[in-house]
Structure 1
Amino acid sequence: MDLVRTALTLHGHPGGITELPSPAPTAAAAAEQLSCPVGAIANSLIFEADGTPLLIVASGGHRVDLKKAASLVGVRKVRRAAPEFVLQATGQEVGGVAPIGHPAPLRTLVDTALADYPQVWAGAGLPHAMFRSTFEELVALTGGEAAAVGI
C-alpha cells in the first residue's frame, strides 16, 4: 500500500487511500462497501501476453475479451496469469493488485467503459484498500492505453 501511495503522490494525486471494513475480493463486494456502481470499480487484472505481463484495468461491470486484448497488443494469445506470475510482476498478491506501484512499468490497457463514471475506484495494493480516481487519471497514472476490452 505504501508503494501505491508513493506512486500516487509522485503523479500529483492526493494519495488518499480508503481502507474498507473488510476485504473486497470481487468488484461487486467493493462496490457494495463503497456504495458505488459495480462498473465504477477498476479491476487491475494481470494477464500473460505471450509470456509477458499485461495489466488490464477493467470495469467491474464486465469481463475482459481475451481475443480482443491479444489483437490490441499484437500477440498471439492472452491468458489469465497464475498467482505467482502476478506477484512477481506486480509485487502484489491477487485480490489486492493496484494499477500502479509495481517494481517495473507494465504494458497497460485501461478499459474505456470506466469513462462512463465521473469517479472510479481502483485497488491500492491490499484486498481491503482502494483509491478514488477518474478514467483519464488512470490512463495517465499507468501510462496505459485506453481500449475497449470488455465483453
Structure 2
Amino acid sequence: MAIEQVRGYLKPWGRDKDIIEMEASTATVLEAANALGVIPARIAKSISLKQGDAATVIVVAGDVKLDNRKYKDHFGIKARMLSPEEALQFTGHAVGGVCPFGLPAGVGVYLDVSMKRFTTVFPACGSCNSAIELTMDELNEYSQNKEWVDVCKPINEESANE
C-alpha cells in the first residue's frame, strides 16, 4: 500500500505519525479541502507528467492549473499527463493519492511557485484519503525538489485570445 511506503519515507524526518488519514475522500482538491477544513488553494496537488521515458511530478496550489505555454517554455517539451495506469506504474501511487514522497528513482519532483503564498500546504500521502500539513521548507526538503518552477496559471484565468 502506497501510504505505508510514504509513512516509511517520512520516518527519517519524524513525520510518519503526522500523516492525516480521513474517512472522507481527499482524491480531488475540493474533497481534500472539505475534509481538512481549509481553502482549496492550500491543497498541494501533484500533477504527474510524462517526460521522455520517465515521469515528472509537479506539485502546485489547488487553485491553479498547468499553463501549457509556460511548461513548454521551461521544459522544452509539450506537457502530457500520465494516464491513471501510467501514474501508478511510474509513481507507485494511484490517481487521487499521487504525491511527491516515496517515488521510484528517476521520477523528478518540481514545486510550483503558486504555493509560496502560503505558510503551509497539504499534499497527499499515497492514498485517496490522506494528507500531511507541511511548510514550504519541509515540502522542498521532503520532496527532494529539483527546482521551483513557474508553470501554472489560475484556473479561472481567461486566455489572452478571448
TM-score, L = length of structure 1: 0.90
Q: Which moved more, 1:27-36 or 1:42-51?
A: 42-51
* CA RMSD after TM alignment: 1.5
> Could you tell me whether the CA contact under 8 Å between 1:66 and 1:79 is conserved in 2?
no
How do residues 4-83 of structure 1 correspond to structure 2 at under 5 angstroms?
4-10=6-12, 12-15=13-16, 16-73=18-75, 75-83=76-84
> Could you tell me whether the CA contact under 8 Å between 1:115 and 1:134 is conserved in 2?
no
> Could you tell me whether the CA contact under 8 Å between 2:24 and 2:129 is conserved in 1?
yes
CA distance in structure 2 between the aligned counterparts of 1:9 and 1:117, rounded to whole angstroms: 24
Q: Which moved more, 1:80-89 or 1:47-56?
A: 47-56
> Could you tell me whether the CA contact under 8 Å between 2:120 and 2:134 is conserved in 1?
yes
CA distance in structure 2 between the aligned counterparts of 1:50 and 1:105, rounded to whole angstroms: 12
Q: Which residue of 1 aligns with 2:135?
A: 134
SS at match of 1:28: helix
> Could you tell me whether the CA contact under 8 Å between 1:50 and 1:77 is conserved in 2?
no
SS at match of 2:105: coil
CA distance in structure 2 between the aligned counterparts of 1:50 and 1:80, rounded to whole angstroms: 12
Deviation string for 1:3-28 (max 9, x for gaps)?
11111122x14221101221122111
Structure 1 residue 105: Cα displacement: 4.3
CA distance in structure 1 between the aligned counterparts of 2:34 and 2:8, rounded to whole angstroms: 27
TM-score, L = length of structure 2: 0.85
Which of the two has higher C-alpha Rg? Answer: 2
Structure 1 residue 51: Cα displacement: 4.2
Deviation string for 1:80-103 (max 9, x for gaps)?
111111111111111111211122
CA distance in structure 1 between the aligned counterparts of 2:78 and 2:45, rounded to whole angstroms: 21
In structure 1, list runs of 5 or more residues that go unmatched. none
Q: Which residue of 2 aligns with 1:150?
A: 152
Query: Where does structure 1 differ by over 6 angstroms across 4 or more consecutive aligned residues?
Result: none
Total equivalences in the alignment: 149
> Could you tell me whether the CA contact under 8 Å between 2:41 and 2:61 is conserved in 1?
yes
What is the letter of the counterpart of residue 92 of structure 1? H
2:111 matched to 1:123?
A: no
> Could you tell me whether the CA contact under 8 Å between 2:29 and 2:40 is conserved in 1?
yes
In structure 2, list runs of 5 or more residues that go unmatched. 154-162
